[in-house]
Amino acid sequence: MAAARINCSSVQNSLCFLNPLQYYSFNSKASHLRTHLHFRRNFPSPSSRRALFCSAATTRNGGSAEAEPFVLTTPLYYVNAPPHMGSAYTTIAADAIARFQRLLGKKVVFVTGTDEHGEKIAAAAASNGSAPKEHCDVISQAYKNLWKDLDIAYDKFIRTTDPKHEAIVKEFYSRVLASGDIYRADYEGLYCVNCEEYKDEKELLDNNCCPMHLKPCVPRKEDNYFFALSKYQKLLEDTLTQNPDFVKPSFRLNEVQSWIKGGLRDFSISRASVDWGIPVPNDSKQTIYVWFDALLGYISALSEDTKESNLQKAVSSGWPATLHLIGKDILRFHAVYWPAMLMSAGLGLPKMVFGHGFLTKDGMKMGKSLGNTIEPNDLVSKFGSDAVRYFFLREVEFGGDGDYSEARFINIVNAHLANTIGNLLNRTLGLLKKNCQSTLVVDSSIAAVGTAFKDDVEKLVEKARVHYENLSLSSACEAVLEIGNAGNLYMDERAPWSLFKQGGAAAESAAEVFKKHTLLHIF
């Protein structure tokens, strides 16, 4: 099938240089693609690689040992089941943002991890005939393995079963208790086991079904500990009014403000019927509610792995976070519950909570019952990590919902990575290696001074920077692609391959083209 063929040679070279430690080989057959990944043993050493890409003096903006770190988090993924494309999508986006911030010279602390307590975990473990901790170990490792395959460069991976996390959760709980914001009461209501949350009847569908999981909520009555969320309604309203950037995109902010204006109710932060969890400090017969537990992972991840881990040390290592990246389905927990909890404990709020949309497949919401889920491991195995990362960053407007289709995936990879970026790399680095021994004895940034090409590229680099800063990741990809198009146009106009063939002065002119063109590789 022609539609299922990727331009093998161009992608191969493109991805090799997009991720220099890896070398990809695409083998296309009639009805499918198979990707083989191995490490090149003969890739140039750091010194020779500098010659290959051409050296230039660069400066990093804003970098200093004392600078405030850029702390970026994904959700802590729930380990009731193996990772799926939705969790991979959030993490790919977080990794792209983290890499951009590192390029600016900032100290980045990229936090991810797994949420491992609660009723659903115990049930999932029991259904597999394993103990909860054993189940958590297996699924948490599956996340780590997928992040490795996707080239995710995280700095901290926290598990909510880590001893340091439990210590910090208990300390945080005690601090909120001391603030007078925890009390004991009976509660009776409709409970969604999948959300692990009591629901208001007005937000449910017919037959008391949860609108997210489409399963009936069950009546439940418990003697629990409650957090006085209602006490913080005015403070939360004022926070969002004074800092409208706290929740992004802006339409998510509108959702949060609507929830708060509708009236906040205190919520249960313990479970008497759930054994798999962190015991309540003042009542060993109850465990801490999974969300009150898991949200603290953003702070406990910052602590060092020592026996003396405590809340203050963790906070001093980078809190408050610069950016929480989450899916829109958990926005209420992060933009309402979490800031109120932090206020109660006397801790600073994260600077921004960004809620992105869902992924669909061929225009339909993904679901295991429909048999249309996207398995990230299969995608990476089939196409390679760079192609997967690029497609979801480029094709999904960050913040909204986005659709996946294999035909679209293949077309985008061919058009952008193969025919634009791959083609550019082939015709520059290939010619450079063949005719100049991969070396140009010149500072490329000086050679390009005064050329329109340099001015165009600098404008596009600035355009990409602004988009990255605004978390407009698709637009940032488009700006990078424009740089590739500018480079290809420059090469088309000067045709250095013809000049090299002529030799003599013409070949010298071709080398001059490369001196200016290698500005692209600096950026």
Using a 10 angstrom Cβ sphere, with 0-12 exposed, 13-18 middle and 19 or more buried, the burial of residue 369 is: exposed
The sign one gets for the Cα dihedral 257, 259, 263, 268 is negative
Given this model, what pLDDT does residue 369 score? 55
Which positions of the chain have pLDDT values less than 50?
1-65, 519-523
Contact assessment for residue 167 and residue 279, using Cβ atoms and an 8 Å cutoff: no
3-state helix, strand, coil in the chain (%, to 5): 50, 20, 30
Pick the CATH number of 70-183+235-250+289-383 from 3.40.605.10, 3.30.450.20, 3.40.710.10, 3.40.50.620: 3.40.50.620
Backbone dihedral angles phi then psi of residue 110, each to the nearest 5 degrees: -100, 115
Given this model, what pLDDT does residue 355 score? 97
Exposed e or buried b per residue across 483-517, where buried means at least 16 C-beta atoms within 10 angstroms of its C-beta: bbebbbebbeebebeebbeeeeeebeebbbbbbbb
Q: Which residues pair with 247 in a beta bridge?
A: 353
Task: Output the pTM of the full model.
Answer: 0.81
The whole-angstrom separation of Cα 416 and Cα 422 is 8
Boundaries of CATH 1.10.730 in the chain?
Answer: 3-64+406-522
Could you tell me the CA-to-CA distances from 435 to 74, 502, 514, 516 in Å, in that order? 46, 12, 11, 16
Q: What are the start-end ranges of the H helices in 37-107?
A: 46-53, 85-103
Task: Write out pLDDT tens, residues 92-146.
Answer: 999 999 999 999 999 999 999 999 999 899 999 999 999 999 999 999 999 999 9
Given this model, what pLDDT does residue 282 score? 87
Cβ-based neighbours of 61, under 8 Å, separated by 6 or more: 104, 105
Contact assessment for residue 473 and residue 96, using Cβ atoms and an 8 Å cutoff: yes
The two tokens of residue 361 are: 């497949």
CA neighbor of 390 nearest in space, from 174, 130, 93: 93
Cβ-based neighbours of 224, under 8 Å, separated by 6 or more: 184, 185, 186, 187, 268, 269, 270, 271, 272, 286
- Strand 108-115 relative to strand 267-268: parallel, antiparallel, unpaired? unpaired
Using a 10 angstrom Cβ sphere, with 0-12 exposed, 13-18 middle and 19 or more buried, the burial of residue 445 is: middle
Q: Which three-class secondary structure state does DSSP give residue 397?
A: coil
CA 321 to chain centre: 15
The whole-angstrom separation of Cα 506 and Cα 433 is 17
Boundaries of CATH 3.40.50.620 in the chain?
Answer: 70-183+235-250+289-383
What architecture (CATH level 2) is domain 3-64+406-522?
Orthogonal Bundle (1.10)
Using a 10 angstrom Cβ sphere, with 0-12 exposed, 13-18 middle and 19 or more buried, the burial of residue 31 is: exposed
Given this model, what pLDDT does residue 513 score? 63
